[in-house]
Amino acid sequence: MATIQQQQQRRDRIRLALLLTPGLLWLLLFFALPLVIIFLYSFMTNDALGRVVYEPTLNNYITIFTQSLYVNAYWRSIWTSVLTTVICLLIGYPLAVFIARSPQQWRMPLLMLILIPFWTNFLVRIYAWQIILANNGIINSFLEIIGIGRLTLLNTEGATLIGLIYGELPFMVLPLYAAIDRFDFTLMEAAADLGANKVQAFLRIMLPMTMPGIVAGSVLVFIPTLGQFVVSELLGGAKVDYLGNLIQRLFLRANPINWPLGSAMAVLMMLVLLVLIMMYFRVTSEEER
Amino acid sequence: MIKTAPATTASARIRGAFSEGRLTWSGLALTVFSILVYLFLYVPIVILVIFSFTRDEFGVRWTGFTFDWYIRLFNNPRMMGAAWNTLVVATVSTIVSTIIGTLLAMAMERYRFRGRNAIEGLIYLPIVVPEIVMAVALLAFSAIIFDVIRMVTGEVLRRNLATVTIGHIAFSISFVVVVVRTSLKNFDRRLEEAAADLGADSWNIFWRITFPLILPGIIGGALLAFTLSLDDFIISLFLSGPGTSLLPVEVYNRVRRAITPEINAISTLMLILSMALVALSQVLQRRR
């Protein structure tokens, strides 16, 4: 006969199973399994109609590593993502300090003003820049009035960068604010009293103590930027290929479509991301010490 | 005495820069810089709204006020259909992911079991995997499933609203878990013990004690899931089928061709909806 304790244990186990099963099933079936499939696809090939042919090969990876189209797309995406992340950090950090140091009654409204773009459709916010940068848009109209004349602003790589910074900035500011808000600014005074100058106090006290926010914000900005294709299409005019543009084309629009090659590109992108984030964690955790 | 002098001036300077309310050059610079950043964030949005009322048919210059683009928008069956689809997908996705996510959050926060770390990893992975990777993976998966269905039953299926909804649920679950777990962490478990001592069974404890107390967290998670679904573009692009496109996809297809004030109008409406959702979530948080 089962004791009360055993009965209780069994009930607990059944309850746990009921809580876990729907979520686990969904994530395994509609998240993990699809990832396994594209991993397998990355070693397949395709026929002239774009159908996947189940013959194991390394050709997709060889193509990516040897053809400049693909190699360049990786470098371009990595470089642009690093640049976007760094600029967002340089803009976001002072802004987060400003919000955290504002009088109490101002902090919530100032934070709300960051939250609104955070919750607003990314595509719409990027599209807004098309209106501003268009050939007959407001900046060019203004330039014409003051006598400089029209410039090509839209469909440039600079426009892509502005769009990415604009789109991702809120994702940097929110975690930074969370970290800086917790930071005790009297520590800076203590450092100064002990003879540290402003730069030393910042580098040795504030920077390490707010590092979790920097790491979180950087990761949140870097990941979507690496795979983006909308910004370079809408603002960059799709003149140069970023990773996302190539993957999107290979899966949806190329003639013939090439899912195995696209899968290999996606798998490699995840790998790049993993390596870069691990390197970043290593550097920043040293900084924290 | 001489040695300490530079330190005190440095200290005074830092105090000035970081203290509240006092006006200093560095404080002023920080304020001006921050105002400029806020302008950078908001000027494009304001311009978008203004230019949804312009008469200019290219929608990039101010040539007079009109409501025409909104009227045209509401008479455009494609746009209205896409808007309806978006709301349906977001509603279903929110309901399913909120329920599943809340259950998962309960399991993770309340139980210790073997394989817990692995499950934790699985739950948080969708947040760090680039959306485009998730999108192409789900596209490949759905194609295989459709092939299997065709071979078994002979029925030819296409990507539709269901495939998009499944994708939206898959990435929303993780965010719901994150939000609900925070409210479970701040929860005073002694309340449940007290209820148990007073003779309540676990069903009653959950519905009378636990659920009402974590409800703000659940609503917060649901609002986030709803917004994520409304705003999602990448998974929607890859997983929606012909004739079942969602609003962001419809906007993207139009914008790629040309700027039209009609797009400014629909963008403005989407903007207002987002702001209403932020406001709602803030009001709910205050009441907590």
Residues B7, A194: C-beta atoms closer than 8 Å: yes
Higher-pLDDT residue of B280 and B41 is B41
pLDDT given for residue B287 in this prediction: 61
Q: What residues of B are in contact with residue A172 (Cβ under 8 Å)?
A: none
Q: What residues of A are in contact with residue B17 (Cβ under 8 Å)?
A: 198
CB B247 within 8 A of CB B83: yes
Residue A25 covered by a domain: no
DSSP at A45: E
pLDDT digits (tens, 9 = 90+) for B16-64: 445 544 568 888 999 999 999 999 999 999 999 998 998 888 777 888 8
Q: Which residue is closest to A41 within chain B, CA to CA? A: B140
Residue A211 covered by a domain: yes
Q: What residues of B are in contact with residue A188 (Cβ under 8 Å)?
A: 14, 18
Phi/psi for B247 (5° steps) reads -55, -50
Give dist(CA B255, CA A127) in Å, integer.
8
The mean pLDDT of A168-195, rounded to a whole number, is 91
pLDDT given for residue A49 in this prediction: 86
* Residue B56 Ramachandran class (φ > 0 left, ψ -120 to 50 alpha, else beta): beta
The mean pLDDT of A220-246, rounded to a whole number, is 93
CATH assignment at residue A243: 1.10.3720.10
pLDDT given for residue A31 in this prediction: 96
- Which among A41, A119, A223 has CB closest to B277? A119
Pick from A226, A223, A234, A222: nearest CA to A126: A234
pLDDT given for residue B283 in this prediction: 81
User: What share of residues in chain B are helix, strand, coil (percent, to 5)?
Assistant: 80, 0, 20
- Report CA-CA distances (Å) from A54 to A28, A35, A224, A262: 23, 17, 31, 15
Give dist(CA B135, CA B102) in Å, integer.
24
| Cα of B260 to nearest chain A Cα, Å | 10
Residue A12 covered by a domain: no
pLDDT given for residue A289 in this prediction: 54
- Centre a 10 Å sphere on the Cβ of residue B69 and count the other Cβ atoms it contains: 23
pLDDT given for residue B2 in this prediction: 39
ipTM value of the model? 0.91
pLDDT given for residue B8 in this prediction: 46
Give dist(CA A48, CA A229) in Å, integer.
26
The mean pLDDT of B70-85, rounded to a whole number, is 92
pLDDT given for residue A7 in this prediction: 86
Catalogue all structural domains in chain B, each as residue range(s) with its CATH number.
Answer: 4-50 (no CATH), 71-287 (1.10.3720.10)
Q: Which residue is closest to A226 within chain B, CA to CA? A: B130
The two tokens of residue A55 are: 């013959």
pLDDT at A225 over 80: yes
Q: How many Cα atoms sit within 13 Å of B102 on the Cβ side?
A: 19
For residue A277, give its domain range.
69-288
Residue A112 covered by a domain: yes
pLDDT digits (tens, 9 = 90+) for B186-239: 888 888 889 888 888 888 888 888 899 889 889 989 999 999 999 899 999 999
A vs B: CB pairs below 8 A: 255
Number of domains in chain A: 1
pLDDT given for residue B4 in this prediction: 41
